[in-house]
Amino acid sequence: MNLILSELGKKSQYKSEYDRDLLFPIPRAVKREELGIVGKPLFQGTDIWTAFEISWLNSRGKPEVRIGVFEIDALSEFLIESKSFKLYLNSFNSTRFTSDDEVATIMQRDLSKAVMGDVRVQLYQLKEYPTIISNQFDAESIDGLDIEITEYIANPRFLKADHSIQVHEILSSDLLKSNCLVTFQPDWGSVLIDYTGGKIDQEGLLKYLISFRDHNEFHEQCVERIHSDIMQYCQPDKLCVYARYTRRGGLDINPIRANYAYDPKHKKIRLARQ
């Protein structure tokens, strides 16, 4: 994974003319191999990106502005480095297009080629953007637990479950924080854990999530690590991990990973910090 070639952490010249080559794909396999995932993962999911700085010129030179929602299949071979995505979207700013459909088609083609997988693109006029603002996930928050912790590098050994007690729980935390793999800038997120199986020790789970505080990985990789660690150490029958991260550079990233078909009602929720 040669991130030296990416624009992360560098001063960048913004291009205002459309340029598909600005997209910088990163292979998912490298980090998955660290987790012992070889071949097709035992999960499915989506990386949901929301883009708030999309604009182009119509055929008469008048600017159009949109909010974009991009859903990238987690089984695609590559993820997109976030700064390259921002630079790519900004390259539309001074280019003329005839319609929303033309722009969406171009974006879907470019992103699908870059990630080598399925991508869904939706562009919304501001008055049409569907969203529900919520302070927190509609779940049981574990943040109020009175714990003591001194470890801030992801440690899955905090995780354990009591298989004599079978439950279905939806838990959440707003204390997820990690760092960018390249720039080490902080990434702030809220995470939802929807599982069926042996009852997960909530104090251990909260310590585990907090232990990401000085951990360096991209958003998608952190969520896959959380999913893989909970599966290994708690062995639930069903598990979905869904994180919503705060915005940076006009983009937020919201990965979902589940070991079954999962289409959460939370997909259209925007949390207060977003």
Active-site entry in 47, 174, 180, 229? 180
Q: Residue 229 is encoded by which pair of tokens? A: 């660690």
Q: Are 177 and 186 in contact, with CB atoms under 8 Å apart?
A: yes
Active-site entry in 110, 187, 229, 252? 187
Active site residue 100: no
Report the distance separating Cα 206 and Cα 216, nearest Å: 18
Q: Residue 136 is encoded by which pair of tokens? A: 């927190």
* Residue 125: partners with Cβ closer than 8 Å, 6 or more residues away: 66
Beta strands 78-80; 25-27: pairing state? antiparallel
DSSP state, 81? -
Active site residue 187: yes
Q: Residue 75 is encoded by which pair of tokens? A: 């089984």
Alpha carbon 146 to chain centroid, angstroms: 28
CA dihedral sign of residues 223, 225, 228, 231: negative
Q: Are 196 and 238 in contact, with CB atoms under 8 Å apart?
A: yes
Report the distance separating Cα 139 and Cα 153, nearest Å: 26
Report the distance separating Cα 41 and Cα 44, nearest Å: 7
Report the distance separating Cα 164 and Cα 252, nearest Å: 39
Q: Which residues are catalytic?
A: 180, 187
